[in-house]
Each structure stands twice: as C-alpha cells, then as structure tokens.
C-alpha cells in the first residue's frame, strides 16, 4: 500500500468519525443527555479528515513511466516537471497533470477489430500516376520527458494529443509519401523506400511537438482490383519473355557448343593429316637416305650385293637358272663356293639360248 493510499484512508476515517460524532450528538440531544462527547468526536474527525485529505492531495506519487507537469495557479507558470517517485505539491495552489512516457501505439488499419477507431480506418492515398491505394499504418511513439519539451507539449496538446496531433499528422504524412511514387513502384521494390520516407517525415514533425518516434510500420498496402490484375498480367508476360529469352540463350549456347566441338574435330583432323604428311615426308627422307647410304656402300664394295643375295637364299637351293638375255650379276662358281666350301663346281658354259623361266630344284 502506498503512502498516498494510506493518507486517503486516514482522511476517510476522519470524515467517518466526523459523521459519527454528529450522529452521536443528535442522539444525545434527543435523549436529553449532554452532546459534548458527540460534538468533540465530530470535531476531531473533521480535523483528521481535512488534515489527511490535504496531505493526500499534496502527495504526488508517480510510477517510473510517468511524468507530471506542475502548474502554479497563482502565478500561471510551470514548476519543474516531476518524475517517478513521491513528491509534495501545494494543494489548490499547484495542480499536476500526469502523462505516460512509456512507448505507445496508434494504429489505423482496414480491419474493424483493430485500431483506435472501429471500422475501416486505413489511410487512402493517391499515387503520382493517379492510382488509389489503401495503407495500414501503426505508429510507435513516446512523449519526450525533457522538462522544457513536456511543458510545451502540455500547453499545445494536453491529453487530446492522439486525436488532435498523432492521427491527422500520420494520415497527412502517409498521403504525402505515397504521392511521390508510381503505383507500380510501390507494388514492387519502392515500398521499402516509401516506408523510410514516411518515417523521416513523421519523425521530423513529431520532434517539433515534443514526441519521440520509435517506428512507423506500413502493415499493408492494397491496390484496386483492376490495377492488381494488370500488374499480375504484366508480370506473367515478363516471366514468359524472360523464359523465351532464356531458351534462346540456351539454344545459342548449344549451337556454340556444337560449333566448338565441330571446330575441335576439324582441327584434330587437320592436325592428324599434317602429322601423317610429316610422317610420310620423314619416312621418304629416311628411305632416300638409306638408299643413298646403300649406293655409297655398293659403289665402295661391289661384292656386297652378291653377299646380301647369298644371305637371302634358301638353305636348300643348289642351282638357279636365269634367262639368257639377263645380264649376270654373280659369278656362279663364287656363289657355289660360298654356299658349300667343300664342293668344287665344274666349269659351266655360258648359255646363249633363252630360257622361258627360272626354276629352282631342291636338293636331295
């Protein structure tokens, strides 16, 4: 129980004693008895009631989220505001007006079950391109407890600040901000920017009047049904166009990939052909060089070709006949001697008659 409540109870008790004393005096007088006791009780009760009533009115008890504006009725000036706690004022000569300085809200929405005003209380505004939009707004604010600010606030607005300042100012700010944008922009990415513009305008106007803006929340924006349908159709068309552009891009990428693969295959074929050509050239050069070296060796040693021929003869060859019109490349005696050193071949006369073909007779 607070001290203010206690003094109020004591004051009430004093007035009860006063009434009881008067009643006792009346009863005593009606019975012919002395009324002094009742009169004294009534007087004591009256003194106690008046004293504690005066004290109760002079005690100002404030909660931590409250501030009191003290007005001097004689001078017409303001004393220093009182903050949370217990303080004393002079009853009759000083009056206290208490304000809440904790965060408060003011809501204007279309939902009839919400907001300070029942029914559709959303803010209707018109965009720069003439579209009508409905905006749901909630204002989070508090009263500035600064001594000079709170006194000016009391003079200008008093306890009617919500209906006389918060509501009309918020609706004006919303309309001002919406009028700066096209409806299609608000429907899209500009909504956040618009909300920031509302906050800046509202904060500036509230600060001049002794308020602190915590936040301005745009809870919903509604457009006309015709506009919403047109925007949705436009979005669908844009999505279809983007999809078509994506498909074209994919086809271009696929065609480019095919071209790159074909170019790679062509380059590989050219490289392979060039490699084969180079290999052929190198092989021809190698064969030419080999023939040149063989020619040099044969020129230097004519018997070399006979040796190579004998090395390539089969082991069972004893006789070879060649056409008579073919020039002799070998000395038959030498060849037989090389093939069988122990054999002494007879003298073989040179044949002059042509023979149709050469035959080989295997040895027994």
Tell me the pLDDT tens digit for each residue of 178-203.
999 988 888 888 889 999 999 999 99
In angstroms, the CA 168 to CA 117 distance is 13
Q: Which of 13-17, 25-29, 300-304 has the lowest mean pLDDT?
A: 300-304
Q: For tokens 């999809």, what's the residue? A: 243
Domain locations along the chain: 3-100, 104-223, 225-300, 317-349
Stretch 51-61: mean pLDDT: 75
Q: In terms of Cα–Cα distance, which of 61, 83, 69 is closest to 5? A: 61
Q: Is the pTM of this model over 0.95?
A: no
Choices 3.20.20.70, 3.30.479.30, 3.40.50.300, 3.90.1640.10: CATH for 104-223: 3.30.479.30
Task: Place 360 in a pLDDT band, splitting at 50, 70 and 90.
Answer: very low
What is the pLDDT at residue 177? Answer: 94
Asked if residue 248 has pLDDT above 50, the reply is: yes
Asked if residue 10 has pLDDT above 80, the reply is: no
The CA angle 241-244-245, to the nearest 5 degrees, is: 85
Tell me the pLDDT tens digit for each residue of 276-318.
888 888 888 887 777 777 777 777 777 666 666 666 665 665 5
Stretch 51-66: mean pLDDT: 79
What is the pLDDT at residue 341? Answer: 58
Q: Which of 57-61, 108-112, 126-130, 168-172 has the lowest mean pLDDT?
A: 57-61
Locate 268 and state its tokens: 């590989």
What is the pLDDT at residue 100? Answer: 92
Alpha carbon separation from 59 to 2, 3, 185 (Å, rounded) = 11, 8, 58
Q: Which of 41-50, 244-253, 305-314 has the lowest mean pLDDT?
A: 305-314
Higher pLDDT, 267 or 134: 134
């Amino acid at each position: 129980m607070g001290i203010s409540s206690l003094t109020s109870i004591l004051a009430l008790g004093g007035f009860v004693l006063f009434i009881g004393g008067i009643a006792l005096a009346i009863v005593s007088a009606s019975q012919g008895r002395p009324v002094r006791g009742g009169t004294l009780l009534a007087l004591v009760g009256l003194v106690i009631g008046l004293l504690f009533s005066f004290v109760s009115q002079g005690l100002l008890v404030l909660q931590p989220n409250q501030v009191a504006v003290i007005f001097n009725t004689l001078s017409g000036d303001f004393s220093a505001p009182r903050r949370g706690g217990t303080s004393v004022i002079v009853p009759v000569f000083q009056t206290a007006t208490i304000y809440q300085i904790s965060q408060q809200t003011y809501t204007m929405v279309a939902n009839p079950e919400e907001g300070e005003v029942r029914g559709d209380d959303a803010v209707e505004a018109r965009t720069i391109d003439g579209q009508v939009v409905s905006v749901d707004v909630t204002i989070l604010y508090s009263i500035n407890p600064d001594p000079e600010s709170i006194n000016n606030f009391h003079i200008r607005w008093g306890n009617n600040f919500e209906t006389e300042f918060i509501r009309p100012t918020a609706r004006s700010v919303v309309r001002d901000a919406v009028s700066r944008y096209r409806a299609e922009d608000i429907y899209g990415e500009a909504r956040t920017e618009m909300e920031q513009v509302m906050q800046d305008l509202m904060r500036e106007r509230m600060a001049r009047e002794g308020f602190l803006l915590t936040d301005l929340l745009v809870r919903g924006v509604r457009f006309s049904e015709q506009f919403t349908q047109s925007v949705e159709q436009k979005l669908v068309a844009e999505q279809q166009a983007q999809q078509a552009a994506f498909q074209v891009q994919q086809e271009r990428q696929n065609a480019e990939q095919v071209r790159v693969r074909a170019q790679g295959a062509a380059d590989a074929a050219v490289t392979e052909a060039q490699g084969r050509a180079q290999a052929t050239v190198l092989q021809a050069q190698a064969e030419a060089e080999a023939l040149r070296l063989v020619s040099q060796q044969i020129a230097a040693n004519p018997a070399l070709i006979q040796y190579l021929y004998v090395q390539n003869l089969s082991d069972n060859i004893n006789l070879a006949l060649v056409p008579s019109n073919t020039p002799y490349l070998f000395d038959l005696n030498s060849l037989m001697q090389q093939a069988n050193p122990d054999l002494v071949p007879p003298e073989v006369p040179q044949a002059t008659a042509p023979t149709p073909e050469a035959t080989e007779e295997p040895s027994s």
